[in-house]
C-alpha cells in the first residue's frame, strides 16, 4: 500500500491542507514548530487508530475549532483504500473505511501498515513498561487485526475486575468467576501473540543495532511476566494453567490491593545490552540505536508479508545521529517502500528524496520533484 493523498481539516496546527504524495521518499521540510510531526501523526492516526503522542483524540482538534478530520487515500496495484478519522471536542468520533461508517478508531487498523520512528522512541529502552507493552501491542494488531478486539475486551474486563475488587460486596463468587474466566480467556492469545512477535523481532533487533552502531554488542530481549517470569509457558493450555495458578495464589493479595495484580497489562519486555539491563545501563546513543533497531525490525517483520509492506514515518531521526550513523541508517532503510521524512534542514538527510514539501506558516508552499 502506498499513500496517494493526505487531507486534513483542523488537525493540530493545520487549518486545511492536502498533500499528493510520491510513492518513494517524501520529505517534509520546514522550521521547528511548523507542523511537520503533526502531518506524520495524522497518517499514524488514520493507519493505526491512535496518536503516537496523545492519549485523547480531542487533543488533535485545532485550538479554537471544534472538530478535526484526517483522511488518507492509499492504494496498491489493485485495491484503493480511503481511511478517514474525525473527532469533536465532545469526544464524538466518526471513522470511515472506504466510506463505511463506524465509531471506533480501532476499526482503521489493518488496511494500511505504517511504522514510525520518533525521537520519543528512546523511551522504549529507558521508560516504563507501559511503553514497551503498547509498542508490542501495536505491532500485534498490525500483524493480526483481529487482536484489536481481543486487546480492547481484555482492557475492559480488567477495568471491570478492578472496579469489582474495590467493591467486594459486589464481587461475590459468581461475578468473580465470570470476570476471572473472561480475563484468562482473553489473556492467553495476547500473551501468545506478544511472545511470538518478540521471538521474530529478537534476532533482527540485534543485527540492526550492530549495523547502526557499527559495533558488535550483544542484545537480548525477552518477555517478562507480571511476576518477573522469564519462562512463561508458550502455548494455550499450559499458559492458561499458569495464569489460573497465579490467580489462585493472588486471591487474598488482590482483595487487599483492590486491583488486578497479574496478566498482560502488568507484564514487561526486558532488553539486555551486553547482558545488562539496557534500561539502566545503555547510554543515550546506545538506547537510540536499540530503539531504531526495534522499529526497523518491526518494519522487516511486517514486510515479510507482501501485503503489509509498511510505509515508514521518520520524524527527524537523522538529526539525532552523528555523521557515520546517519549514513549507516540511510543504507539500512528499505529502498523499495514509501517513506515520509521530516526535518528542519535538508542537509540532515544523507540521500536524495523523490518529493519535497516546503512547509511554511500553515501552508504547503511548494512541491519539488
Ligand X SMILES: Nc1ncnc2c1ncn2[C@@H]1O[C@H](COP(=O)(O)OP(=O)(O)OP(=O)(O)O)[C@@H](O)[C@H]1O
Residues near ligand X, by CB under 6 A: 12-13, 30, 32-38, 59, 61-63, 316, 344
The three-state secondary structure class of 18 is strand
Contact call for residues 122 and 287 (beta carbons, < 8 A)? yes
How many whole angstroms separate alpha carbon 44 and alpha carbon 51? 6
Q: Which does 293 bind (CB under 5 to 8 A by kind): Mg ion, ligand X, none?
A: none
The three-state secondary structure class of 151 is helix
Q: Which C-beta is closer to ligand X: that of 63 or that of 91?
A: 63
- What's the closest the beta carbon of residue 26 comes to ligand X, in angstroms? 15
How many whole angstroms separate alpha carbon 3 and alpha carbon 20? 9
Q: Which does 183 bind (CB under 5 to 8 A by kind): Mg ion, ligand X, none?
A: none
For the chain, helix, strand, coil in percent to 5 are: 45, 25, 30
Q: Which does 62 bind (CB under 5 to 8 A by kind): Mg ion, ligand X, none?
A: ligand X
- What's the closest the beta carbon of residue 176 comes to ligand X, in angstroms? 43
Q: Which C-beta is closer to ligand X: that of 86 or that of 286?
A: 86
Of 125, 126, 152, 132, which is closest to residue 268 (Cα–Cα)? 132
Find where cell 499458559 sits.
239
Q: Which does 52 bind (CB under 5 to 8 A by kind): Mg ion, ligand X, none?
A: none
Q: Which C-beta is closer to ligand X: that of 36 or that of 67?
A: 36
Residue 331, C-alpha cell as written in the block: 543504507
Residue 323, C-alpha cell as written in the block: 555523521
Q: Which does 300 bind (CB under 5 to 8 A by kind): Mg ion, ligand X, none?
A: none
Contacts of 225 (CB under 8 A, 6+ apart): 232, 262, 267
The DSSP 8-state label assigned to residue 61 in this structure reads B
- What's the closest the beta carbon of residue 271 comes to ligand X, in angstroms? 26
How many whole angstroms separate alpha carbon 23 and alpha carbon 336? 9
How many whole angstroms separate alpha carbon 73 and alpha carbon 81? 6
- What's the closest the beta carbon of residue 344 comes to ligand X, in angstroms? 5
Residue 37, interface with Mg ion (CB under 5 A)? yes
How many whole angstroms separate alpha carbon 74 and alpha carbon 81? 5
Chain residue whose CB lies nearest Mg ion: 37
- What's the closest the beta carbon of residue 358 comes to ligand X, in angstroms? 12
Q: Which C-beta is closer to ligand X: that of 94 or that of 348?
A: 348
Across-strand partners of 78?
none
Q: Which does 344 bind (CB under 5 to 8 A by kind): Mg ion, ligand X, none?
A: ligand X
Q: Which C-beta is closer to ligand X: that of 62 or that of 107?
A: 62
Q: Which does 38 bind (CB under 5 to 8 A by kind): Mg ion, ligand X, none?
A: ligand X
Applying CB under 5 A, the site for Mg ion has a residue count of 1
Residue 113, interface with Mg ion (CB under 5 A)? no
Footprint on this chain of Mg ion (rule: CB under 5 A): 37
Amino acid at each position: 500500500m502506498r499513500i496517494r493523498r493526505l487531507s486534513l481539516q483542523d488537525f493540530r496546527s493545520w487549518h486545511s491542507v492536502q498533500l499528493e504524495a510520491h510513492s518513494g521518499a517524501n520529505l517534509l521540510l520546514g522550521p521547528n514548530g511548523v507542523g511537520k510531526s503533526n502531518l506524520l501523526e495524522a497518517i499514524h492516526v488514520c493507519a493505526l487508530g491512535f496518536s503516537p503522542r496523545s492519549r485523547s483524540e480531542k487533543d488533535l482538534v485545532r485550538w479554537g475549532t471544534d472538530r478535526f478530520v484526517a483522511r488518507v487515500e492509499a492504494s496498491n496495484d489493485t485495491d484503493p483504500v480511503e481511511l478517514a478519522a474525525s473527532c469533536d471536542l465532545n469526544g464524538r468520533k466518526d471513522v470511515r473505511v472506504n466510506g463505511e461508517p463506524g465509531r471506533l478508531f480501532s476499526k482503521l487498523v489493518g488496511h494500511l501498515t505504517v511504522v514510525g520512528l520518533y525521537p520519543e522512541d528512546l523511551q522504549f529502552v529507558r521508560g516504563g513498561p507501559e511503553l514497551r507493552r503498547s509498542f508490542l501491542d501495536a505491532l500485534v494488531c498490525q500483524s493480526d487485526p483481529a487482536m484489536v478486539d481481543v486487546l480492547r475486551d481484555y482492557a475492559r474486563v480488567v477495568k471491570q475486575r478492578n472496579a469489582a475488587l474495590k467493591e467486594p460486596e459486589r464481587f461475590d463468587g459468581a461475578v468473580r468467576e465470570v470476570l476471572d474466566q473472561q480475563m484468562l480467556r482473553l489473556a492467553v492469545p495476547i500473551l501468545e501473540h506478544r511472545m511470538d512477535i518478540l521471538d521474530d523481532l529478537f534476532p533482527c533487533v540485534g543485527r540492526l543495532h550492530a549495523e547502526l552502531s557499527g559495533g558488535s554488542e550483544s542484545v537480548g530481549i525477552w518477555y517478562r511476566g507480571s511476576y518477573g517470569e522469564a519462562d512463561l509457558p508458550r502455548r494455550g493450555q499450559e499458559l492458561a494453567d499458569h495464569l489460573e495458578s497465579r490467580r489462585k495464589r493472588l486471591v487474598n493479595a488482590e482483595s487487599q490491593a483492590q486491583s488486578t495484580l497479574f496478566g498482560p497489562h502488568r507484564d514487561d519486555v526486558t532488553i539486555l545490552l551486553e547482558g545488562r539491563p539496557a534500561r539502566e545501563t545503555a547510554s543515550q546513543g546506545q538506547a537510540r540505536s536499540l530503539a531504531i533497531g526495534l522499529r526497523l525490525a518491526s518494519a522487516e517483520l511486517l514486510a515479510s508479508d507482501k501485503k503489509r509492506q509498511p510505509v515508514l514515518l521518520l520524524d527527524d531521526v537523522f538529526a539525532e545521529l552523528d555523521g557515520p550513523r546517519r549514513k549507516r541508517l540511510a543504507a539500512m532503510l528499505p529502498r523499495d517502500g514509501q517513506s515520509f521524512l521530516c526535518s528542519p534542514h535538508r542537509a540532515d538527510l544523507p540521500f536524495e528524496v523523490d518529493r519535497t514539501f516546503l512547509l511554511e506558516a500553515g501552508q504547503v508552499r511548494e512541491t519539488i520533484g
